[in-house]
Structure 1
Amino acid sequence: MSRLDELIQELCPNGVKYEKLGDIASYSNIRINALEVDQDNYIGVDNLLPEKQGKTIAAYVPTEGSIIKYETGDVLIGNIRPYLKKIWLADRDGGTNGDVLTLQIKDRVKISPKYLYYVLSSEDFFYYDVANSKGAKMPRGNKEMVLKFRIPVPPLPVQEEVVRILDTFTELTTELTTELTTELTARKKQYEYYRFTFLENTGNSAPKMQLKDLARVFRGEGITRKGSIAGNIPVILGGQEPAYYINKANHNGEVVVVSRSGASAGFVSYWNEAIFITDGFGFEADENVIRPKYLYYALKARQNNLHQMKRGAGIPHVNRKMLEEIWLLVPDLKEQDRIVRMLDEFDELNTNMLSGLPAEISARQKQYEYYRDKLLDFKELKPEGDDTN
């Protein structure tokens, strides 16, 4: 029997009383001058992080008027778009605004701040908060309904043991997530280095040629989703995925596409199917000189340089002439085939690994969420005189 089971058996064998949040906590009604806060202790809904990841420093800090005070041990919850699951247990005193719910425990002998934080971090609470929110475009949590959320209030020693277990599990989960994220970053860098090395070490005899001499370039056609007929032909707007699908194509076969404008300007992609290129440049390789897939890898290795070619303050774009003047190493076709074959194999291996690591991180987080919610699922104490099963 675990220590938690022993405490439950000793202190609350018949169950735990459930109480409304409003009976054990209230919203802060203390005001302080805005000049008392800074980037580190001002909490706005914008610097609360989604998915229960705490907070970051504030980009905006008010400089006049009065704001809501929070204190160490208060639980702060983002009240705009509650589905983002923004919550933080205050480890300092500071100030916030009306878009953040500041819950202050009435009696810390009855319930501990860390325990309340874990309860309100549960999926049950956020499901309840979202279900009772108001508004469609920018939903807000219902402050009155939040206070009606029922939470289990076991004896303090039971709460402390739950907190100890969850703190330990949180630490282990965080360490593992950090390790997996570090591995993910390292693999990406390794792949970029490996690809660059292959393309740059093709021998001193490999000539350099400009892109305009290696491929025919054409600009995509203007199109709107509203003015198109839905189909199964991907529309290539510039990102990694098709923007949408229509019933006609303006290119079929191998082509390298470079996004022309917007945030993704300069992004390189490779296609070997019927597609519709819109806000981008298509490059059809001269296969007597260069393989289409080799051209893709050669340009992809310069992805950062292409992004840096953006011009314009409002909507940045890459210039066709600048793209055409890019110099590339062009070994003979046999060597290109060898490089493409090696990079295809490494790309597949890398893709499998990179898709596996985020899945592992997600699985660990879900495991933690499940474990936490199970620990907080106490048998409810029946009211006196209630003999129902």
Structure 2
Amino acid sequence: MNKSTEKGLVPELRFPEFKNDAEWEKKVLNNKDIATFVKDREPLEQLKLNSYVSTENLLADYAGVAKASKLPPSGSFTSYKPNDVLISNIRPYLKKVWCADKIGAASNDVIVIRPNAKVSAAYMLHILKNDEFINFVMKGAKGVKMPRGDIASIKAYPVALPRLPEQQKIADCLSSLDKLVSANNQKLDALKAHKKGLMQQLFPAEGETVPELRFPEFENQTSWKKRSFSKLFEIGGGKDHKHLPSGNIPVYGSGGYMRSVNEFLYDGESACIGRKGTINKPMFLNGKFWTVDTLFYTHSFNGCTARFIYLLFQNIDWLSLNEAGGVPSLSKVIINKIEVMIPEIKEQHRITDCIDSLEELITAQSQKIGALKTHKRGLMQQLFPILIGEANAT
């Protein structure tokens, strides 16, 4: 967020009707003029599923709150009321923030902040819905696996405060962007659901030899053939990369990209699956690449394409084939024994072209959402003055 200027504490970008308004006030979140950290308690017996809020049913990415699936067995919880702002206090769940629209109670992992008379609840919500707040709070986080935000840091978070009308104008502007992001997320979800449904129709169901949905030019063609993966491709194992100098050849493990080196293990298209660790997220690689020993790659395809094998990989429940009791693991033996139904090459190409077109739409939609989020971050940097470093404001 932009720095204060010689004119005083004002943002870089200000709505025209407020350009001649007074400077913004600088406070900390726990200041009596800003908010109260609620400590009221409510007996568990009075709770209902639709009014109980915990880290589990607060939705990620500031998407609100869902109905709780169950109530905890005992204990007292912080009560909340409409216009209170609730925030999960466990990383990575600090992006679970909600402005209450009803009365209820929250678990001990949820902080309830009640804006005072000079602060709009919607404005408060946007103060907490940004990475700057998360980074500030997590500097004092306690814990390793599920660190908790430091309450003292949360209370000391610096806040810039204009008059209520300007607060509401800013909140309305940012909320409209949030709604646009939400609408585009729904479109992305719909595209992913469409792809999933189409995949189910384009591949034969269990015990069938043809798919439910077949392109017209193949309706009178022969049935798909059952073949084991051992007959369709060979499996390559990854190798250590630490001795290799840096370069422009990407190195992948089961978790994804790791670094770039100056040599490659394989050059071409390949469907890859994790050998250890993340074994249920196939990836498709094309061109020169190197893999480490946690990732298998495929090559020497026989009667199939790498892209079609990648689609087949997405239809397999890999976790059910896990061979280890600790870190999930797969072996070449297990993979080679898997049998699948497969059509002729021309039909494979037709199916992959269809799915690829959907993937392009999904990628474009994801990029659009990313651009909207980037736009919002840039806008927030202009709509709020910088206050980090001024946490001792009173």
Indicate whether the TM-score tops 0.5.
yes
Distance 2:58 2:40 in 1: 21
Residue identity matched to 1:34: L
Q: CA deviation at 1:276?
A: 7.3
Distance 1:85 1:119 in 2: 12
The corresponding residue for 1:211 is: 227
The corresponding residue for 1:15 is: 23
Whether the 8 Å CA contact 2:239–2:291 is kept in 1: the answer is no
CA-to-aligned-CA distance 1:175-205 (integer Å, 9 cap, x gap): 3443354345446655776786567963545
Whether the 8 Å CA contact 1:261–1:280 is kept in 2: the answer is no
The corresponding residue for 1:56 is: 66
Q: CA deviation at 1:81?
A: 1.7
The corresponding residue for 2:207 is: none
Residue identity matched to 1:87: V
The corresponding residue for 2:179 is: 171
Distance 2:18 2:68 in 1: 42
Which moved further from structure 2: 248-257 or 136-145? 248-257
Alpha-carbon distance change, 113 to 246 in structure 1, aligned in 2, over 3 angstroms: closer
Distance 2:363 2:347 in 1: 24
Indicate whether 1:355 and 2:363 are aligned. Answer: yes
The corresponding residue for 1:385 is: none
Whether the 8 Å CA contact 1:184–1:357 is kept in 2: the answer is no
Distance 1:173 1:256 in 2: 32
Which moved further from structure 2: 342-351 or 40-49? 342-351
Whether the 8 Å CA contact 1:212–1:325 is kept in 2: the answer is yes
Structure 2 counterpart SS, 1:67: strand
Q: 1:139 aligns with which of 123, 142, 147?
A: 147
Whether the 8 Å CA contact 1:220–1:278 is kept in 2: the answer is no
Whether the 8 Å CA contact 1:69–1:95 is kept in 2: the answer is yes
The corresponding residue for 1:293 is: 305
Q: CA deviation at 1:366?
A: 2.4
Whether the 8 Å CA contact 1:217–1:283 is kept in 2: the answer is yes
Q: CA deviation at 1:71?
A: 2.0
Distance 1:277 1:150 in 2: 47
Whether the 8 Å CA contact 2:251–2:258 is kept in 1: the answer is yes
Alpha-carbon distance change, 77 to 283 in structure 1, aligned in 2, over 3 angstroms: same
Alpha-carbon distance change, 45 to 348 in structure 1, aligned in 2, over 3 angstroms: closer
Q: 2:156 aligns with which of 148, 151, 155?
A: 148
Alpha-carbon distance change, 104 to 209 in structure 1, aligned in 2, over 3 angstroms: closer
Whether the 8 Å CA contact 1:192–1:301 is kept in 2: the answer is no
The corresponding residue for 1:116 is: 124
Indicate whether 1:368 and 2:373 are aligned. Answer: no
Residue identity matched to 1:175: A
Whether the 8 Å CA contact 1:260–1:266 is kept in 2: the answer is no
Structure 1 counterpart SS, 2:105: strand
Q: CA deviation at 1:361?
A: 0.9
The corresponding residue for 2:76 is: 66
Alpha-carbon distance change, 5 to 132 in structure 1, aligned in 2, over 3 angstroms: farther
CA-to-aligned-CA distance 1:352-386 (integer Å, 9 cap, x gap): 4332210101111222333345334499xxxxxxx
Structure 1 counterpart SS, 2:169: helix
In the TM superposition, 1:213-228 aligns within 5 A as: 215=231
CA-to-aligned-CA distance 1:184-242 (integer Å, 9 cap, x gap): 54466557767865679635453654315981677777x897xx8655796776x8x57
Indicate whether 1:90 and 2:100 are aligned. Answer: yes
Question: Structure 2 stretches of 5 or more lacking a match?
Answer: 1-12, 204-210, 388-394
Structure 2 counterpart SS, 1:54: coil
Q: CA deviation at 1:297?
A: 2.2
Residue identity matched to 1:19: K
Q: CA deviation at 1:40?
A: 2.2
Whether the 8 Å CA contact 1:35–1:63 is kept in 2: the answer is no
Distance 2:299 2:333 in 1: 11
Structure 1 counterpart SS, 2:156: coil
Distance 1:122 1:298 in 2: 41
Whether the 8 Å CA contact 1:51–1:85 is kept in 2: the answer is yes
Residue identity matched to 1:93: I
The corresponding residue for 2:10 is: none
Whether the 8 Å CA contact 1:217–1:284 is kept in 2: the answer is yes
CA-to-aligned-CA distance 1:26-53 (integer Å, 9 cap, x gap): 2212111122223322222233233322
Whether the 8 Å CA contact 1:270–1:293 is kept in 2: the answer is no
Q: CA deviation at 1:135?
A: 4.5
Indicate whether 1:78 and 2:88 are aligned. Answer: yes
Distance 2:250 2:176 in 1: 50
Residue identity matched to 1:210: K
Indicate whether 1:102 and 2:112 are aligned. Answer: yes
The corresponding residue for 1:386 is: none
Q: 1:37 aligns with which of 38, 47, 65?
A: 47
Distance 2:62 2:83 in 1: 16
Distance 2:188 2:223 in 1: 41
% same residue: 19
Residue identity matched to 1:102: V
Alpha-carbon distance change, 320 to 267 in structure 1, aligned in 2, over 3 angstroms: farther
Distance 1:158 1:131 in 2: 31
